[in-house]
Amino acid sequence: MAAMARPLPPDFPIRSQLLARLYDEQRRAGWIAPGFADAIARELRLPVAEVWEAATSYADFRSAPLIGDEVRCAGLSCQLARGAFAEMPSEASHCLFRCYDAPATGGEEPFPAPMVRQAGPLLAPDITNTDRLNAARRLGRDAALNAVAESGLRGRGGAYFPVGTKWRAALEERRPIALVVNAEEGEPGVFKDRALLSLAPRRVVEGIAIAAFILEPAVIVVFANGQADPAVRSLEEALDIAEPQLDVAIVRGGGGYVLGEESALLNALEGRRPVPRTKPPYPVQSGLFGMPTVVNNIETFANLSVHFGDVPGFRTRGTPETPGTKILSVSGRVRLPGAYEVPLGVSLRKVVEQSGPAVAGEVAVLAGGPSGGFLSAGHLDVPLQPGILHATGAMLGAGGIVVLDAPGDIRDAALAMARFNAEESCGKCTPCREGTPRLYDLLAAGDVDGIDGLAEVIQFGSLCGLGQMAPGPVRSALHFWPGVFA
Ligand code: SF4
């Protein structure tokens, strides 16, 4: 069996070993005991308070042993499948990332191929050659970078920042670059990176190789979700047979929605508490241990492989501003949950209809997960493209689509999102730390008059996207279905 983790370079500061040591201990013992924290603090020459500060920031690390041996998923689609939004016990997981198999219990599994409901170039059968890497090599570094920029490829992690612009900014620093491959995928309801890694790992690895050819990074690190063993094993197998070989470290995480913010992820890699950094400087200027750092998502790397193999084909899908496809993770009240690879710009209604809604009332959608918002049946004709889909909060984000029954599911679903955001707030800034639990309390009590003002404070006073977008599900639910909170 593959090791599923590969160490960071030995010349990295010793504190960078902290996350790996915590992860190993959690896997071995099932929790982080005080004696272990003391020992690891001595070994890594850190104050023990810093060890606890990091250890207690990850959702999957426990400071007490787990009681019982079954972990149940508390994600929205699993709660819908159970037919109850009861308070979940402490051993519940925020998401087991098997929303296509709701209600999920236990651990992760390799993504099942039949759950690819619609495949495009990303989810097509995996590649067996290195034609696309060879195409980049034939162009040379500068021309290959120009090709990335001119293709119009945008990152697929949720922010859709132009890839060529990000890479140029890092290269302009004229210092050794760190390349970080984001396979953390910690948003409840999203499983598309797991699908890619399970079914097309060589496409992902070729994308990493193309990036490595252009950026010539001093270090390549894959930050992989701590639960995603089958997907990571598949990646390791693809790395093992890659030609030429890539020197890649694999670091496993401990969960946490805030790790979707790239500077929080870099802090985690450095063995610090995983909280977002104040910007500027941006990671491309000063990221992992001060190196110019490029962070891109798994799906972005897979797109690189597609793009270099078929530039005209890449641009014929999607829109002129956002070419290509997007893998959606569709779940909830549908007969055909799973991964749908669609051209950017396709209407949400078409996706919902393909997935076979199974609702008693009207269809509603949660788009963009806990940072997104709800859409009513009358607003499903929006094209799925980067940015806001509706002013109250719905957005494409990482491509999580949960189909709901309206109005029956709306109150519980909005409360579930509000509670999730409150629990996942890292606590660094006051509007988010104090505001998100208050938002949940007001909604739960039906005391909606003060919500708009509070939502504005959270949105505009928070440091990172988690706080800034947290009011979306609440605001959109109140906008479309005010009666359900009376
Ligand atoms: S907005 Fe929330 S999650 Fe983001 S830094 Fe502030 S407290 Fe942390």
> How do residues 405-416 score in pLDDT, each as one tens digit?
999 999 999 999
Answer whether residue 64 is part of any domain.
no
C-alpha Rg value of the chain to the nearest Å: 21
For residue 214, give the nearest of 149, 283, 151, 136 by alpha carbon: 136
Does the CB atom of residue 425 touch ligand 1 within 6 A? yes
The pLDDT of residue 75 is 81
Residues 24 and 101 in one domain: no
Answer whether residue 392 is part of any domain.
yes
Residues 295 and 356 in one domain: no
Q: Is the pLDDT of residue 87 over 80?
A: no
Does the CB atom of residue 370 touch ligand 1 within 6 A? no
Residues 299 and 339 in one domain: no
Distance CA(346)–CA(324), nearest Å, equals 11
**Residue nearest to ligand 1 atom 4, measured at CA:** 464
Q: How many CB atoms lie within 10 A of CB 28?
A: 9
Over residues 56-70, the mean pLDDT reads 81
Does the CB atom of residue 258 touch ligand 1 within 6 A? yes
Residue 400: beta bridge partners? Answer: 329
The pLDDT of residue 456 is 97
Does the CB atom of residue 305 touch ligand 1 within 6 A? no
**Residue nearest to ligand 1 atom 1, measured at CA:** 467
The pLDDT of residue 132 is 94
Residue 364: beta bridge partners? Answer: 404
Over residues 19-42, the mean pLDDT reads 96
Distance CA(305)–CA(315), nearest Å, equals 14
Distance CA(13)–CA(10), nearest Å, equals 8
Q: How confident is the model at residue 2 (pLDDT cuts 50, 70, 90)?
A: very low
The β-bridge relationship of strands 219-224 and 178-183 is parallel
Q: How far is the CA of 467 from the centre of ligand 1 (A)?
A: 5
Structural domains of the chain, count = 5
The pLDDT of residue 83 is 78
Residue 66 DSSP class: P
Residues 475 and 334 in one domain: no
Q: How far is the CA of 428 from the centre of ligand 1 (A)?
A: 5
| H or E stretch at 206 | helix 201-215
Answer whether residue 221 is part of any domain.
yes
Omega cis (within 30) before 280 = yes
The pLDDT of residue 91 is 54
Which ligand 1 atom is nearest residue 424's CA? 3
Answer whether residue 427 is part of any domain.
yes
Which of 406, 421, 444 corresponds to the end of one domain? 406
Q: How confident is the model at residue 486 (pLDDT cuts 50, 70, 90)?
A: confident
- Identify the burial level of 85 via C-beta atoms within 10 angstroms of its C-beta, where 0-12 means exposed, 13-18 middle and 19 or more buried: middle
The pLDDT of residue 9 is 86
Residues 347 and 299 in one domain: no
Q: Give the Å distances, CA to CA, from 208 to 93, 113, 310.
A: 31, 23, 17
Does the CB atom of residue 471 touch ligand 1 within 6 A? no
The pLDDT of residue 99 is 85
Distance CA(137)–CA(309), nearest Å, equals 12
- Residue to mutate, 428, 459, 460, ligand 1, most ligand atoms under 8 Å from C-beta: 428
Q: How far is the CA of 425 from the centre of ligand 1 (A)?
A: 5
Residues 75 and 205 in one domain: no
Does the CB atom of residue 264 touch ligand 1 within 6 A? no
Q: Is the pLDDT of residue 71 over 80?
A: no
**Residue nearest to ligand 1 atom 8, measured at CA:** 426
Q: Is the pLDDT of residue 43 over 90?
A: yes
Q: pTM (2 decimals)?
A: 0.95
Residues 394 and 449 in one domain: no
- Provide φ and ψ at 185, rounded to 5°: 35, 75
Where are the strands (E) in 135-292, listed by range?
A: 178-183, 219-224, 248-252
For residue 336, give the CATH number of its domain: 3.10.20.600
Which of 406, 433, 452 corresponds to the end of one domain? 406
Three-state helix/strand/coil letters over the chain: CCCCCECCCCCCCHHHHHHHHHHHHHHHHCCCCHHHHHHHHHHCCCCHHHHHHHHCCCCCCCCCCCCCCCCEECCHHHHHHHCCCCCCCCCCECCCCCHHHCCCECCCCCCCHHHEEECCCCCCCCCCCCHHHHHHHHHCHHHHHHHHHHHCCECCCCCCCEHHHHHHHHHCCCCCCEEEEEECCCCCCCCHHHHHHHHCHHHHHHHHHHHHHHHCCCEEEEEECCCCHHHHHHHHHHHHCCCCCCCEEEEECCCCHHHHCHHHHHHHHCCCCCCCCCCCCCCCCCCHHHCCEEEEEHHHHHHHHHHHHCHHHHHHCECCCCECEEEEEEEECECCCEEEEEECCCEHHHHHHHCCECCCCEEEEEECHHHCEEECHHHCCCECCCCECCCCCCECCCCEEEEEEECCCHHHHHHHHHHHHHHHCCCCCHHHHHHHHHHHHHHHHCCCCCHHHHHHHHHHHCCCHHHHHCHHHHHHHHHHCHHHHC
**Dihedral sign computed on CA atoms, order 150, 152, 156, 161:** positive
User: Taking a C-beta distance cutoff of 8 angstroms, is the pair 54, 65 a contact?
Assistant: no
From first CA to last CA, the distance across the chain in angstroms is: 55
The pLDDT of residue 220 is 97
Q: How far is the CA of 101 from the centre of ligand 1 (A)?
A: 31
What would the pLDDT profile of 281-314 be if each residue is shown by its tens digit? 999 999 999 999 999 999 999 999 998 878 888 9
Which of 316, 351, 370 corresponds to the end of one domain? 316
Answer whether residue 188 is part of any domain.
yes
Which ligand 1 atom is nearest residue 464's CA? 4
- Residue to mutate, 263, 272, 425, ligand 1, most ligand atoms under 8 Å from C-beta: 425
For residue 469, give the CATH number of its domain: 1.20.1440.230
Answer whether residue 208 is part of any domain.
yes
Does the CB atom of residue 275 touch ligand 1 within 6 A? yes
What would the pLDDT profile of 218-254 be if each residue is shown by its tens digit? 999 999 999 899 999 999 999 999 988 999 999 999 9
Tokens 């241990």 correspond to: 289
Residues 255 and 348 in one domain: no
Which ligand 1 atom is nearest residue 433's CA? 7
Residues 218 and 337 in one domain: no
Does the CB atom of residue 170 touch ligand 1 within 6 A? no
Over residues 103-124, the mean pLDDT reads 91
The pLDDT of residue 86 is 56
Q: Is the pLDDT of residue 90 over 60?
A: no
Residues 239 and 151 in one domain: yes
The pLDDT of residue 244 is 85
Distance CA(188)–CA(194), nearest Å, equals 13
Q: How far is the CA of 460 from the centre of ligand 1 (A)?
A: 12
Q: Is the pLDDT of residue 67 over 90?
A: no
**Residue nearest to ligand 1 atom 6, measured at CA:** 429
Does the CB atom of residue 470 touch ligand 1 within 6 A? no
Q: How far is the CA of 468 from the centre of ligand 1 (A)?
A: 8
Which ligand 1 atom is nearest residue 258's CA? 3
Q: Is the pLDDT of residue 81 over 90?
A: no
Q: How far is the CA of 411 from the centre of ligand 1 (A)?
A: 25
For residue 230, give the CATH number of its domain: 3.40.50.11540
The pLDDT of residue 447 is 93
Distance of CA 295 to the CA centre of its chain: 12
Which ligand 1 atom is nearest residue 427's CA? 7
Task: Provide, rounded to the nearest whole percent, the portion of the chain with pLDDT above 70.
Answer: 96
| H or E stretch at 211 | helix 201-215
Answer whether residue 9 is part of any domain.
no
User: Taking a C-beta distance cutoff of 8 angstroms, is the pair 308, 211 a contact?
Assistant: no
Q: Is the pLDDT of residue 73 over 90?
A: no
Q: 22 by DSSP, 3-state: which?
A: helix
Q: Is the pLDDT of residue 173 over 50?
A: yes
What would the pLDDT profile of 128-160 be if each residue is shown by its tens digit? 999 999 999 999 999 999 999 999 999 999 999
Q: How far is the CA of 426 from the centre of ligand 1 (A)?
A: 5
- Residue to mutate, 263, 279, 424, 432, ligand 1, most ligand atoms under 8 Å from C-beta: 432
**Helix, strand, coil share of the chain (percent; to 5):** 45, 15, 40
Answer whether residue 359 is part of any domain.
yes
Residues 84 and 127 in one domain: no
Over residues 16-31, the mean pLDDT reads 95
- Residue to mutate, 429, 430, 468, ligand 1, most ligand atoms under 8 Å from C-beta: 429
Q: How far is the CA of 58 from the centre of ligand 1 (A)?
A: 14
Q: Is the pLDDT of residue 88 over 90?
A: no
Residues 286 and 157 in one domain: yes
Q: Is the pLDDT of residue 68 over 70?
A: no
Residue 398 belongs to domain spanning: 325-406
Q: What is the mean pLDDT of the chain?
A: 93
Over residues 60-81, the mean pLDDT reads 78
What would the pLDDT profile of 4-16 be if each residue is shown by its tens digit? 678 888 899 999 9
Phi-psi sector, 380: left (phi>0), alpha (psi -120 to 50), beta? alpha
| H or E stretch at 480 | helix 471-480
